[in-house]
Structure 1
Amino acid sequence: MDPKRFLFLSLDSALIGDLAWQVAREGHDVRYYIEAESDREITDGFVPKTDDWRAAVDWADVIIFDDIWVGDEVGTGELAQELRDAGHAVVGGTPATDRLEEDRGYAMSVLEDNGVDTLDHREFTDFDTAIEYVREHPAPYVIKPLGEVQNVKRLLYVGREVDGSDVVEVLRAYKKAWGHRMKGFQLQRRVEGVEVAICGFFDGDQFVEPINFNFEHKKLFPGNIGPSTGEMGTSMFWAGRNRLFRETLGQIESWLADEGYVGSIDLNCIVNDHGIYPLEFTPRFGYPTIALQEESFESPTGAFFYDLAHGTDPALRVHEGYQVAVRIVLPPFPFDDPKTYDENSRNAAVVFERDSRDGIHLEDAKNVDGQWRAAGESGMPIIVTGMGETMQDARRQAYGRIDDIVIPNMYYRDDIGERWIDGEGDRLQAWGYLGP
């Protein structure tokens, strides 16, 4: 493919720098816009920037949005739709697909209308009403904040007690600490099983094959304990339209086509021997999921997203084994503490003990005179990936690469991918979800 012009847009936090860097390294002309002032140094020295994205719209062959947020408001889907209507090729959502993430009740109704079974769930705007509901219907529940505060990942709470008593106590605590900001939340019945996300790239008409199946590791510490984070790492593989896909994303393929959606969409589910139970949508790129997907692409990344945005039958060749991504973080992640960040992490040097940068992906990093450094204020400088014929091989490669990296005060989970090895893969196969 001849070089094309790509405009990458972060209208809130900087998230998509690694994808922009990869496309630029393939020889395409790239411009990257970051709205958040605190994040604007991210990818400096790696990716060309612009400070006026609207002026670059007519220049671009492809426009790529990284999230659904415009500052504190949902809105990239509306912008993407307006740009498509004006004749531009866009990777991004629509107002309705943005709503799949912002409004969990709406997301469940879309699934139900398209023949997908969902767990019992209810929306609340009042803590006392929710507490009374749990007392009248004792069971383990998951508390899922709605709206802007859903991005505060540690507020998601997974109940443990069969009578819901722990959920009642957490709701009381949230009322005191977050009542002024948490305008709504969902209570969803908790079920046991294997948590797996079904992810596909949609070209405006249909899903591109193969389909991605990934396993998020959201807690801070190994063993899945500690506070919730956006994500500490991901393991994954690619496959065809198996039962997991057919009974979830496959059911809404026509709905997405009617919307004209273009991009990645992910549906996280709990699966057991009784069925598949959707939990939540990510109608955008996932992080660090996209870095790991990009690492496993065997077809050119820029060409794929150009064809995806133009709806011209994008070809996607991927690594056929397993993949693992590990997020490397710095204090005070996942919490906000500017003093701790300034004292321990700001501008921290990323030192590589080998010349190779294979499997190393940008997150909140910059390049200053050839030296990689932490950038921004979130404490997530890089992602390290590995691939292999087995999940154990992929883990070995990823953690071997981490052994050759030094960042003062860095920490990470050392168990990404172990759940698959310890039996999740066997259970999914035994239950008949993976197919040939």
Structure 2
Amino acid sequence: MNILLIGSGGREHAFAWKLTQSKLCDKLFIAPGNAGTASCGINLPVAVTDFELLSAACISNKVDLILVGPEEPLVKGVFDYFKNNPATQHITVIGPSKEASQLEGSKAFAKAFMQRHNIPTAAYGEFTIDNYTDGVEYIKAHSLPIVLKADGLAAGKGVLICQHTLEALSEFELMLHRSKFGDAGKKVVVEEFLKGIELSVFVLTDGENYLLLPEAKDYKRVGEGDTGLNTGGMGAVSPLPFADAPFLQKVKEKIIEPTIAGLKKDKLEYKGFIFFGLMNDDGEPKVIEYNCRMGDPETEVVIPRIKNDLVELLQATAQQKLHEITIDTDPRFAAAVVAVSGGYPGDYKTDITIQGLEDDVLENSLVFQSGTKQQSGEVVTNGGRVLVVTSFGDTISEAAEQSNYMMEQLYFEGMYYRSDIGYEFP
């Protein structure tokens, strides 16, 4: 079959690498892709939210299946667009409907969903400019620290953890009165701070059944020791020593299964990946957030650990046959380290030549590209997060050490990466 992969990051390069290993994949198209995905298939110069051009590309290239990588096209309704167009309704789209994507697109929608279906999460309140004074009083009476979240998509920057009441009140005013996060912050969710260890759990669901995929932990802070500004992700590890069978059983019973049942009960059409951002609160899992797709850079450690044919998994999702499949997982540990442009997550330069990509990659290592493009026969930087190196090992520290060694073989001016990914796991 011919497949279209939508997106341009490291997540999409990992997906493309895995899809092309399938005997079921005849041609792979990536829109818009990057310099790395170009080695796996044919990049198409189409924006992820240009549904009209994506549709035309699918028709002209006889695409049978679409895998959507990032959240923006899902939240804007790419599934519905293809389903409701007679010329494209025969094409399978792996991803939830526009309404179901509100689990990620609206923090308030997600919190109400969890409350309705008795899924453990932090206590919260939601506020707009219309009940601003109620929000001020809510914050004043709340214990510290306190979490403020922009309701909509804010490129991973819309969550603030405030240690002081005055700080929280100031940020609350900036969000609602001064549009700090634009339209995404027109509604603000204020919630309790959950203590514990964060982790990411992923499932693939066909709307009736689900497959539990390998779990992961990502590292959002730009600085070593989890310091500095939040980013889109500086690295990830999988599996997690503390996510043992009893804990994951609690995740299934208290979170995953009520979520799948809730989607069905609420008549939310959902065939695709669900990302559960969880807190392990003294052995009890609680939901921090939902994402309606795979994470990045978590995909770069999760997908390489899955031994199954990915196209077969996606076909089973479309046909509601996931209950017939068992996930086969590589037992080794994987660690992904992300190289970013100098200045990221602030201002940074692009179009900088990357050196070392043509060299042999170490055994048990993979290099995925994210913010890259081809220019005058060279691969150059084209974003904040540029490269991801994933390595395997018998321990997390061994896998991370190999990824760091591989990073030393790569170079571009201003390149920076955290050398302490997985530091909590000796």
- TM-score, normalised on structure 1? 0.81
d(CA) in 2 for partners of 1:310, 1:246: 24
Counterpart AA for 2:301: L
CA 274–45 in structure 1, closer or farther in 2 if over 3 Å, else same: closer
d(CA) in 1 for partners of 2:65, 2:148: 38
| Residue 121 of structure 2 corresponds to residue 124 of structure 1 | no
User: Would the aligned equivalents of 1:7 and 1:56 in 2 still touch at CA under 8 Å?
Assistant: no
User: Would the aligned equivalents of 1:144 and 1:186 in 2 still touch at CA under 8 Å?
Assistant: yes
How far residue 379 of structure 1 moved from its aligned partner, in angstroms, is: 2.3
| Residue 334 of structure 2 corresponds to residue 319 of structure 1 | no
| Residue 93 of structure 2 corresponds to residue 97 of structure 1 | no
How far residue 123 of structure 1 moved from its aligned partner, in angstroms, is: 1.1
User: Would the aligned equivalents of 1:365 and 1:381 in 2 still touch at CA under 8 Å?
Assistant: yes
Q: Residue 392 of structure 1: which of 372, 394, 397 is its match?
A: 397
Q: Could you say which residue in structure 1 is the equivalent of 2:344?
A: 333
Deviation digits for residues 41-74 of structure 1, max 9, x if unmatched?
A: 7845653133542134351221111233249x63
Q: Could you say which residue in structure 2 is the equivalent of 1:433?
A: none
User: Would the aligned equivalents of 1:77 and 1:98 in 2 still touch at CA under 8 Å?
Assistant: no
Q: Could you say which residue in structure 2 is the equivalent of 1:244?
A: 251
| Residue 394 of structure 2 corresponds to residue 383 of structure 1 | no
CA 142–18 in structure 1, closer or farther in 2 if over 3 Å, else same: same
| Residue 6 of structure 2 corresponds to residue 23 of structure 1 | no
d(CA) in 1 for partners of 2:377, 2:249: 45
Paired residues, number:
399
d(CA) in 1 for partners of 2:399, 2:291: 25
d(CA) in 2 for partners of 1:215, 1:301: 22
How far residue 315 of structure 1 moved from its aligned partner, in angstroms, is: 4.8
Q: Could you say which residue in structure 1 is the equivalent of 2:6?
A: 9
CA 110–221 in structure 1, closer or farther in 2 if over 3 Å, else same: same
d(CA) in 2 for partners of 1:415, 1:104: 31
Return 406-415 or 169-178, whichever deviates more: 169-178
Q: Could you say which residue in structure 1 is the equivalent of 2:167?
A: 166
Q: Could you say which residue in structure 1 is the equivalent of 2:42?
A: 48
SS of 1:334's equivalent in the other structure is: coil
SS of 2:99's equivalent in the other structure is: helix
User: Would the aligned equivalents of 1:299 and 1:317 in 2 still touch at CA under 8 Å?
Assistant: yes
SS of 1:191's equivalent in the other structure is: coil
How far residue 306 of structure 1 moved from its aligned partner, in angstroms, is: 3.7
User: Would the aligned equivalents of 1:349 and 1:374 in 2 still touch at CA under 8 Å?
Assistant: yes
Return 255-264 or 184-193, whichever deviates more: 255-264
Deviation digits for residues 149-208 of structure 1, max 9, x if unmatched?
A: x22x334211224xx333223334544462754312111100211112221111332111
Q: Residue 157 of structure 1: which of 149, 155, 160 is its match?
A: 160
d(CA) in 2 for partners of 1:269, 1:420: 18
User: Would the aligned equivalents of 1:222 and 1:414 in 2 still touch at CA under 8 Å?
Assistant: yes
CA 165–42 in structure 1, closer or farther in 2 if over 3 Å, else same: same
Q: Could you say which residue in structure 2 is the equivalent of 1:361?
A: 368
Q: Could you say which residue in structure 1 is the equivalent of 2:294?
A: 285
- TM-score, normalised on structure 2? 0.83
> Which segments of 5 or more consecutive residues in structure 2 lack a partner in the other structure?
47-52
Identity %: 18
User: Would the aligned equivalents of 1:154 and 1:227 in 2 still touch at CA under 8 Å?
Assistant: no
How far residue 282 of structure 1 moved from its aligned partner, in angstroms, is: 0.7
d(CA) in 2 for partners of 1:353, 1:68: 32
Q: Could you say which residue in structure 1 is the equivalent of 2:58?
A: 57
User: Would the aligned equivalents of 2:103 and 2:109 in 1 still touch at CA under 8 Å?
Assistant: yes
CA 369–46 in structure 1, closer or farther in 2 if over 3 Å, else same: farther
Q: Could you say which residue in structure 1 is the equivalent of 2:223?
A: 221
User: Would the aligned equivalents of 1:43 and 1:364 in 2 still touch at CA under 8 Å?
Assistant: no
Q: Could you say which residue in structure 2 is the equivalent of 1:261?
A: 270
Structural RMSD (CA): 3.1
d(CA) in 2 for partners of 1:302, 1:247: 29
CA 43–350 in structure 1, closer or farther in 2 if over 3 Å, else same: farther
CA 82–225 in structure 1, closer or farther in 2 if over 3 Å, else same: farther
CA 83–193 in structure 1, closer or farther in 2 if over 3 Å, else same: farther
